[in-house]
Copies of this chain bind each other. A is one copy, B any other.
């Protein structure tokens, strides 16, 4: 059920089998959701955090005028709102971008876990800090990279993150977002997002059809993205 999550953790730190057992005990129930559902609303009080087992989620922030910015995308193995454990209510919505399977983790269990295993407390603290590092990289993209470079960067980031959980290989992964949703990640209009996809296609860097993304030239794509995965903290880490 939560193998992707453990795989993601183990890509960064050691987890003993006892710790693994404790982590597996976090989940109280699992749920299914249809695409385009809002599963956490900004401001509502939280008693659970949601561990994404399968599918894609987005953290969305909206302006009164309706403009939307996605601040992070989540894939299998990610906690979508682990920060809700300390924040108690979120400053953004969480929406499904595809069919999703979600494991519910009650905050009491997290409290108990981090009490019994202080190291796992630091591990999950670390996990929210990686989310923050991703936010910073997105801010760099939004503030300084061109539309083309920004989109290329997002495709590179997702490739790496999906590969960790075995959902990307041989330059391919399923990319369930519509162009509108993609444009909301990148701070572009749909029309310009479309032009930008065309340009990446024209340069033979990617293919994108039927929700399947194929990276034709990884080097080339990483080049236009100026992609450096250090910010994902993938090396082995001691906590």
**Complex contact B132–A43 (CB within 8 A):** no
* Contact partners of A211 in chain B: CB under 8 A: none
Whether a CB of chain B sits under 8 angstroms from the CB of A55 is: no
For the complex, give the distance between the alpha carbons of A186 and B54 in Å: 36
* Contact partners of A239 in chain B: CB under 8 A: 86
For the complex, give the distance between the alpha carbons of A140 and B135 in Å: 11
* Contact partners of A214 in chain B: CB under 8 A: none
Which of A126, A131, A143, A231 has the most chain B CB within a 10 Å cutoff? A143
For the complex, give the distance between the alpha carbons of A67 and B43 in Å: 35
Specify which of B83, B118, B136 is in contact with A118 (CB 8 Å cutoff).
Answer: B118
Interface of chain A, main secondary structure: helix
Q: Which of A198-227 contact B (CB under 8 A)?
A: 226
Whether a CB of chain B sits under 8 angstroms from the CB of A181 is: no
Whether a CB of chain B sits under 8 angstroms from the CB of A16 is: no
**Number of identical protomers:** 2
**Complex contact B71–A139 (CB within 8 A):** yes
* Contact partners of A122 in chain B: CB under 8 A: 86, 114
Which partner residue on chain B sits nearest A149 by CB separation? Answer: B63
A144 to B: closest C-beta gap in Å: 4
**Complex contact B88–A133 (CB within 8 A):** no
* Contact partners of A88 in chain B: CB under 8 A: 237-238
In the complex, the 5 A-B pairs of residues with the closest C-beta atoms, listed nearest first: A143-B187, A135-B135, A142-B142, A86-B126, A132-B132
